[in-house]
Structure 1
Amino acid sequence: MSRLPALLAGLLLAGSALAQAGPEPVVPEGPPRPGEVLEDPDFGVRTGQFGLERTVEMYQWYRDANGDFQRVWKAGLVDSSGYPATHRNPDAMPVEPQRWWAAAPTLDGYPLDPSVLRALGRWETFRPAFTRLAANLAATFQPEGDGLSSADNPLDPQVGDLRLRWRELQLPELAGRVELVDGRWQLSPGTASAALNARPLPPVDVPEADDEPDDRRRWWPLLAGLLVLAGGMAWWRRRK
Structure 2
Amino acid sequence: MQPADRFNSAHGPHSEQIDMALLMPGFGDAVHDSQGVFRALLDALARPGRIVSVESLLPGYQADANGAPLAAFASLLALADYSTPVFVQRDDRALADALRFHAGATLTRDCAQATFAYVHDAASMPPLDAFSLGEPEAPENAATLFIRVDSLTDGAPLTWQGPGIRDASTVGIAGLPGKFWDERAALASRFPCGIDCYFVAGGSLVGLPRTTRVENS
The TM-score range, normalised by the shorter chain, is under 0.3
TM-score (norm 2): 0.20
Larger radius of gyration: 1
Alignment TM-score, normalising by the size of structure 1: 0.18
